[in-house]
Amino acid sequence: MDGIKTAMLLAALTALFMALGFMFGGKGGAIIALLVAAGMNLFTYWNADSIVLRMHNAREVDERSAPEFYGLIAQLAQRAGLPMPRVYLIDTDAPNAFATGRNPQNAAVAATTGLLAMLSREEVAGVMAHELGHIRNRDTLIMTMVATIAGAISMIANFGLFFGGHGENRPNPIVAIAAVFMAPFAAMIVQMAISRTREFGADKAGAEISGNPRALASALGKIAGPAARLRNPAVERNPATAQLYIVPSSVSDLFSTHPATEKRITALMAMEGDSIAPPPQSPAPRARSALDPNRLR
């Protein structure tokens, strides 16, 4: 079933790519767009994880450069029954994390230094278990490919507005302007059709892997506000990458691919037969994190 959903999603994005090509270049433009889309699908299948990691200036760490964080991931991967993923850190204050890779054997997880500074060890474990849940559920391939292809659709729409066609072949200005706004919006709609259910599934898997749904719920409550407020240059350059993160980053609720954080927290607490109120905007002062990024370099 996941394979069918993946094929349908990529077909929809490819069709959107072709429609833009036709709008700006007629039949020839549609054929070129099809060839470009096919090439992008193949290229991103093998390389999307590297593209996304480079986009975030992520640096790979190991048991020597980040022993606590790396060791935590190793323990969680063992509990999840997964091969050890590559581990990355991203130097930014915005607290967030994501997973990428075409399959569990070629996966990577990344966390920001802001996330490690803000959360306790148990909360970090919950967040990273969520990301390993995406890997175990085989969500990472489609999430990463969508991030790169949807970003390309936005780029082509904007490029076509200013450079598409000449004379009679030039698109109607009103249609072209509509494409600039509707193409990224359509790509987001396709993402939203699958991403919200995937997040609930990864939350459940993360709670099972970490054995502590309350810690994951607490982490979501703490990082949701700062992640949305603080600048994220990678998302500003390519808004489609926002759907990779555990919580939305610098995007409006209209375009969010994630369920409301409060709903996710409620679902997690229900796993303990409990409930929780929405988190406060400013968490109370806490003890120094067990995974302080200053001790991970």
- Note down pLDDT in tens along the chain; length 297 residues: 556 766 776 777 777 778 777 776 778 878 887 887 778 777 777 887 898 899 899 999 999 999 999 999 999 999 999 999 999 999 999 999 999 998 999 999 999 999 999 999 999 999 999 999 999 998 887 777 766 666 666 666 666 555 555 445 555 566 566 666 666 666 565 556 556 778 999 999 999 999 999 999 999 999 999 988 888 888 777 776 777 889 877 654 444 567 889 999 999 999 876 444 444 443 433 434 446 655 544
**Residue 284 pLDDT:** 38
Query: Around Cβ 3, how many Cβ atoms within 10 Å?
Result: 9
**Residue 168 pLDDT:** 53
Q: Is 199 annotated as a binding residue?
A: yes
Backbone angles phi, psi at 281, to 5 degrees: -65, -35
Q: Measured between alpha carbons, how far is 216 from 210 in angstroms, rounded to an integer?
A: 9
Structure tokens at 204: 């459940």
Structure tokens at 272: 């303990």
Q: Is 258 annotated as a binding residue?
A: no
Enumerate the active-site residues: 131
**Residue 58 pLDDT:** 96
**Residue 208 pLDDT:** 95
**Residue 93 pLDDT:** 92
**Residue 142 pLDDT:** 76
**Residue 286 pLDDT:** 43
**Residue 287 pLDDT:** 38
pLDDT tens per residue, range 18-59: 877 777 677 887 888 788 777 877 777 788 789 889 989 999
Q: Is 166 annotated as a binding residue?
A: no
**Is 55 in a helix, a strand, or coil?**
helix
Who's near 18: CB < 8 A, 6+ residues apart? 30, 33, 34, 37
